[in-house]
Chain A
Amino acid sequence: MIKSLKQFTKTRSEMVRGMAVAVGLAAVLALPGTGFAQNETPKVGGVLKIAHSTRIATMNVLNLSGPAEYPAIDMLYSGLTRIGMDNHPHPDLAESWSANSDATVFDFKLRPNVTFHDGTPLTSDDVVATFEAIQDPARGASARSVLTMVEKVEAIDNLTVRFTLTVSYADLPVAVAHANARIISAKALAGPKENLENKPNGTGPFKLESYDSSRMTRLVRNDNYFIEGVPYLDAVELHLFPDLTAQSANYLSGNMDVLLAVEQADYDRIDKAPGSNALRVASGRFVNVVMRFDQKPFDDVRVRKALAMSIDRQTLVDVILEGLGRPARDNILSPEYAYVIDSPEIPYDTAAAKQLLADAGYPDGIKIDLVASNRPAIRGQVAIAIKQMALPAGFDINVKSMPHDTYLANYWRKGNFYMAYWGMRSTPDGAFTLLLTSDASYEDTAWNNKEFDAIVAKARSTPDDSERAQLYAEAQKLILRDTPYIIPFFQDVLTASRDGVKGWVVHPLNRVYYIESVWLDRN
């Protein structure tokens, strides 16, 4: 079952006007994650067991990034808004919001009578404290990069928070839906760091009962959750199996109900196994080849294009992704993003690539090291495949695999040729300002294209939808012209649940799970 996605961001006017509708919807359905037919009555009760293979090292929602940490905090914490499977921001702790006419000031109204798991009531001071922490460089918050336009956050009254922005930004409700921008109590933020890591105190549908990062983390229903009637589950257990074989064996034997992330190699077997249902969600996450513009040989765009033509993208999808993905054409935006344009196909043509290299002054080809961290392992696999594919074109690539921290210390944002790995963003602006603008948070390709920067900045604050579409089209054309990265494919998100587990879905961003909508029907 493939879930395809439509438009990603609302237009400004829709956003601002849609609140009443949103509130109404929220009251009735209250479930932004409703992606299945509501023709069965959910049963209350039971314990859901989720198998995962990477350790939950921390519950500090500000800077965690582990694949198993996201489901945990999705259950423990709530944000102002939350991305739904329809890719619109839905009310979460904020029951409504409004903006001024040029979208530079936003007011969020919080739900009344919401309490943290420890009983303290949620007030706008907690929201202010959270966003100040996010913007504080010393905290290392992941959401900081999507909130750079926020100048000031203040509490207007007990339940109203006002965001003042430096530029017009209609997508603020999407930005505050960032999975790491969940609301933490002011008290916890002022307390010792260890409590943020190990004793999460949120407003989410589940609260922490026990946390043994080497084995199992157990969350139980929050009876005071602000949405009536959910969650259905009594408890959720996250079980760690660092060995992939043991993990899938435990799932297939029925010991576990959900396999959080399915490996491409196992997908078919897990889908076909009795009692098991695999789920594949098209996503814009990718592995990319970073080639720095400010060093030889990639300072010449012909060399970049030559390498782009030396990669057989469909074969990569077939062999490395086992078909569970789509070939990409070096555009950082996958088809799901709003304002995405069609990219021309890039054929696998090593003869033409060889010619291009000769034109660029490399008639005997290029010998070069390609660095690949071992986390995740797919980086190395793609690197090896590229090495083989690009050989006939004259590229003599030496793959250097290394432990992740050596890569981070010595090559990331410094090396001139390495493999990177990124998940999907909520908006084109999010993707562009993460990686491609000159002042992007994790800029590493030294593209420094002033024209691109200008277009992105203008589009950010343009209220008119069609003008925005035009601007983003120009931006993408620049990307396709200069090839700042080679992006060979978009990788699907893969997960699986057993019969009897209802409502298990994963959002393409791979960070939101809606576990409060999951229920068990064991008979």
Chain B
Amino acid sequence: MSDFARHPAGVAGAILLTIIALAVLFGPLVAPYDPQAFHTTVRLQGPSADHWLGTDQFGRDLLSRLLFGARSTIAFGVGATMISVIAGSLIGVTAGVVGGWIDSVIMRGLDGMLAVPDLLFVLLIVTMLGAGTGEAMLAVSIAFTPGMARISRSSVLSIRTREYVLAAVARGESQRYIILSEVIPNAIGPIIVEGTIRVSFAIMIGATLGFLGMGAQPPSTEWGLMVSEARQFMYRSPWVVAVPGLAIAVAAMGFNLFGDALRDAFDPRRSR
């Protein structure tokens, strides 16, 4: 783990994530204005003393909208990924531990779901469920679950043959004990790594859905929706697009860097 601190990418990622976590936790408390309040005399302004990041087409303060929107955007990504991690791990671990024909059936099903590209899958589910933040989050978690199931399963499979597991089997421990005490603690590493990287994808997909009008709905301050609404005002004030766009990129980058660093830290065999 001391490797981790020497890893500049990991440190950068950790810093970004800390900033983001602060925004998510305390954003609404420190935001200078009500994110929905109109200030119609200062529409589409760049940064100024009153509005540090400028204002949008209704005169709403961009900084405040950004801080409030951190929750919708990030929580969306983290929430969707966590659901998929939990659901996927349950499925994958079960398949890996139980084996046999149950495993085969589950694998076929997973292959079927994995055959459809992510965004396409999400679009189909969101169309069915209707547009909205909750629906979009559910759609993304459904789309990510097969991938997470796959990873947890292969993780379990590789652990199954390890010495400590074989020892537990030889000792006569119950399958439940083996799963809970031996398999899961050791399988968690790759799952967490993959999950962290997936959060950045989930954030980007959530923002894309907001952009397409199928995710968060106005007047939500979700960052992808902010970009979508702001595009037609791009030429009058590039800040309306740049601010939320860069925020999305920074958040995705933070999770990406951190996840990569985690992966390198967990797997000492890999060279840098």
The reply to whether A and B meet directly (CB within 8 Å) is yes
Q: Within the complex, which residue of A319, A385, A403 is in contact with B130, where a contact is CB–CB below 8 Å?
A: A403
In the docked arrangement, what's the CA distance between A319 and B38, Å?
10
> For the complex, is A111 an interface residue (Cβ under 8 Å from B)?
no
Q: Are B219 and A265 in contact (CB under 8 A)?
A: no
Q: Are B231 and A244 in contact (CB under 8 A)?
A: yes
> For the complex, is B235 an interface residue (Cβ under 8 Å from A)?
yes
Q: Are A374 and B213 in contact (CB under 8 A)?
A: yes
In the docked arrangement, what's the CA distance between A318 and B232, Å?
17
> For the complex, is B59 an interface residue (Cβ under 8 Å from A)?
yes
Name A384's closest neighbour in chain B (CB-CB).
B219
> For the complex, is A402 an interface residue (Cβ under 8 Å from B)?
yes
> For the complex, is A13 an interface residue (Cβ under 8 Å from B)?
no
In the docked arrangement, what's the CA distance between A265 and B43, Å?
12
Q: Are B130 and A388 in contact (CB under 8 A)?
A: no
> Contacts A269-B236, A374-B213, A406-B130 known; A319 to B218 CB distance under 8 Å?
no
Mostly helix, strand, loop or mixed at chain B's interface? loop
> For the complex, is B217 an interface residue (Cβ under 8 Å from A)?
yes
Interface positions, chain B 113-150, Cβ under 8 Å from A, are 130-131
- Min CB gap A321→B, angstroms: 12
> For the complex, is B26 an interface residue (Cβ under 8 Å from A)?
no
In the docked arrangement, what's the CA distance between A403 and B219, Å?
15
- Min CB gap A220→B, angstroms: 33
**Residue numbers in A under 8 Å from B59 (CB-CB):** 319
> Contacts A380-B218, A399-B218 known; A265 to B40 CB distance under 8 Å?
no
In the docked arrangement, what's the CA distance between A388 and B37, Å?
7
> For the complex, is B73 an interface residue (Cβ under 8 Å from A)?
no
**Residue numbers in B under 8 Å from A401 (CB-CB):** 131, 217-218
Q: Within the complex, which residue of B58, B214, B235, B236 is in contact with A385, where a contact is CB–CB below 8 Å?
A: B58
Q: Are B43 and A319 in contact (CB under 8 A)?
A: yes
In the docked arrangement, what's the CA distance between A265 and B240, Å?
13
Q: Are A319 and B40 in contact (CB under 8 A)?
A: yes
- Min CB gap B63→A, angstroms: 18
In the docked arrangement, what's the CA distance between A6 and B130, Å?
46
- Min CB gap A385→B, angstroms: 7
> For the complex, is A266 an interface residue (Cβ under 8 Å from B)?
yes
**Residue numbers in B under 8 Å from A381 (CB-CB):** 218
In the docked arrangement, what's the CA distance between A380 and B37, Å?
16
- Min CB gap A309→B, angstroms: 18
> For the complex, is B57 an interface residue (Cβ under 8 Å from A)?
yes
Q: Within the complex, which residue of A245, A384, A400, A403 is in contact with B231, where a contact is CB–CB below 8 Å?
A: A245
Interface positions, chain A 359-406, Cβ under 8 Å from B, are 374, 380-381, 384-385, 387-388, 399-403, 406
A positions within 8 Å CB-CB of B? 244-245, 263, 265-266, 269, 315, 318-319, 374, 380-381, 384-385, 387-388, 399-403, 406
B positions within 8 Å CB-CB of A? 36-38, 40, 43, 57-59, 130-131, 213-214, 217-219, 231-236
6 tightest Cβ-Cβ pairs between the two chains A and B? A401-B217, A265-B232, A384-B219, A380-B218, A401-B218, A265-B233
